[in-house]
Amino acid sequence: QKEVEQNSGPLSVPEGAIASLNCTYSDRGSQSFFWYRQYSGKSPELIMFIYSNGDKEDGRFTAQLNKASQYVSLLIRDSQPSDSATYLCAVNILTGGGNKLTFGTGTQLKVEL
């Protein structure tokens, strides 16, 4: 079982719709959770992070965390063509050596006009 799992997509949504991206993780010791956006050929850009169960909203983005189900999601409201990118879910575990951030394989999102 992979440590962090995402559906690779592509996930296609029309402009203005809500895009829902999902991620599951295997290690119950995971402590913090991140969503990065990555455009082709570019580096990952942090867009949301969440540490506690429940929802966290920032503009058009909402992250949701359910530690009991080991599930984290990202909702993008009013999707725009500029949101088309790969979204990487990352899970952080604090070890004796420091933070280990493990990424899922990413979900490719396409927002269509």
Partner 1 sequence: DTEVTQTPKHLVMGMTNKKSLKCEQHMGHRAMYWYKQKAKKPPELMFVYSYEKLSINESVPSRFSPECPNSSLLNLHLHALQPEDSALYLCASSQVKQANTEAFFGQGTRLTVV
The residue length of the chain stands at: 113
Provide CB contacts within 8 A for 111, sequence distance 6+. Answer: 12, 13, 14, 15, 17, 19, 79, 80, 81, 82, 83, 84
Q: Find the binder of partner 1 among 21, 73, 106, 111 (CB under 8 A).
A: 106
* Residue 58, Cβ density class (10 Å: 0-12 exposed, 13-18 middle, ≥19 buried): exposed
Whole-number minimum distance, CB 15 to partner 1, in Å? 25
Q: Find the binder of partner 1 among 19, 23, 24, 34 (CB under 8 A).
A: 34
Q: Find the binder of partner 1 among 12, 16, 39, 42 (CB under 8 A).
A: 42
Q: Find the binder of partner 1 among 46, 55, 59, 66 (CB under 8 A).
A: 46
Give backbone dihedrals phi and psi of 4, rounded to 5 degrees, phi first.
-135, 125
Residue 39 CA to residue 99 CA, distance in Å, equals 25
Whole-number minimum distance, CB 17 to partner 1, in Å? 25
Tell me: does residue 61 bind partner 1 (CB under 8 A). Answer: no
Give contact residues for partner 1 (rule: CB under 8 A). 31-32, 34, 36, 41-46, 49, 51, 88, 90, 92-95, 97-106
